[in-house]
Structure 1
């Protein structure tokens, strides 16, 4: 069972408004994109020094066809395919045998569309995901400040959480996971909401970006396949609630 939804359009649908739509091939989705590293050789020693691994953008090629019920429907389908992502990035969601993953993609060039018969179109398009990660099941873990919250995801890469904190903590608060500490020195006033994106290191207060808010800032992600305990504590006094949002994350 395969479902491919691009910009809200199901591309593997035998009963679409344009006729019989099918996906024949998907390339660049299943494997990891190319890695990029700065290798530093060990002088007069074996091997290299360890290096951080980062990834190139993900390029995905979709190849498919449309069998239309009429020549008029063929042209309507042609226009639909040629217009996909014409106005910017959209969500690509692929469900293969019950496993759903998604990414945000844009065009990498114009779609190649061939009219091969009176009512038959074949096409190929290459998409670019500047964020090379794929995302799966969403998680939302709420709890009280001062209590441990267990976090877990089934991906194969680090998942970067977005943490929402409410309550009243005039001296700020601390967030910890896996031995890493993020110290928020900005007071949390009653009625205010702090949102911290661990991937970008940005804290927003009531939706607006706040500056000079961190003391120690060891931003952390959630490792795949292992339960980790998250803690939040007031730096001085106060109480509050915390909510951690993240997705199963794949590379």
Structure 2
């Protein structure tokens, strides 16, 4: 399921009332993402928003003279998404209801388990796969299991050694769906729309 990085180029024109303003605007454009830190890119298309994590690629600003009284420059600004997937809305399902999503690529589910289970519990997935948690579940401390990153979170803190069987799975897009079950506690399955 590994895919190549996604490289996106944005091209446009900078318009400014003076030459110094044009230079400042070009410098502002060059600053976007210049620290090397990752940032989130969002695209809204007909009311549906998807996002991806990116880092800045190549940036070029080229003076283009004066047009209709404005000092102009053309620019190309690239960003690179090492993970080419785009993500959208989260679909939520209780145990026993088939879980799916509206993307076009397999998605990693997140499980939230509430209630009480002193001896732990088992989440049953497709094809006989299981996630077995031996850490006690208490009413005041829900468990969260994110299969994309792995591990058990309690109150937002990763708990080591709480999972004894780890056989994660993805959720296919569209009509193929699987109804998850759990041996104790109440289960919510969250699946984020995932696209390539």
User: Which of 76, 86, 96 is matched with 1:134 structurally?
Assistant: 86
SS in 2 for 1:168: coil
Q: Specify the alignment match of 2:152 in structure 1.
A: 203
Q: Aligned runs of 1:55-94 on 2, under 5 Å?
A: 55-87=3-35, 88-94=37-43
Find the aligned partners of 2:65 and 2:152 in 1 and give their Cα distance: 56
Find the aligned partners of 1:83 and 1:74 in 2 and give their Cα distance: 14
- Deviation of 1:199 after TM superposition, in Å, equals 1.4
SS in 1 for 2:186: strand
- Match status 1:161 vs 2:106: no
- Deviation of 1:57 after TM superposition, in Å, equals 2.2
Find the aligned partners of 1:209 and 1:249 in 2 and give their Cα distance: 25
Find the aligned partners of 1:194 and 1:183 in 2 and give their Cα distance: 12
Structure 1's unaligned 5+ residue stretches are 1-52, 235-239
Find the aligned partners of 1:115 and 1:243 in 2 and give their Cα distance: 55
Find the aligned partners of 2:180 and 2:73 in 1 and give their Cα distance: 52
Q: Specify the alignment match of 2:172 in structure 1.
A: 223
Deviations 1:143-171 (A, max 9, x none): 3xxx4133121111111122222221011
- Deviation of 1:99 after TM superposition, in Å, equals 4.5
Matched pairs, number: 189
TM-score, with length taken from structure 2: 0.85
Find the aligned partners of 2:43 and 2:16 in 1 and give their Cα distance: 23
Tell me, yes or no, if the aligned pair for 2:3 and 2:83 is still in contact at 8 Å: no
Q: Specify the alignment match of 2:188 in structure 1.
A: 243
Q: Which has the higher contact order (CA 8 A, sep 6+)?
A: 2
SS in 2 for 1:244: strand
Structure 2's unaligned 5+ residue stretches are none
TM-score, with length taken from structure 1: 0.68
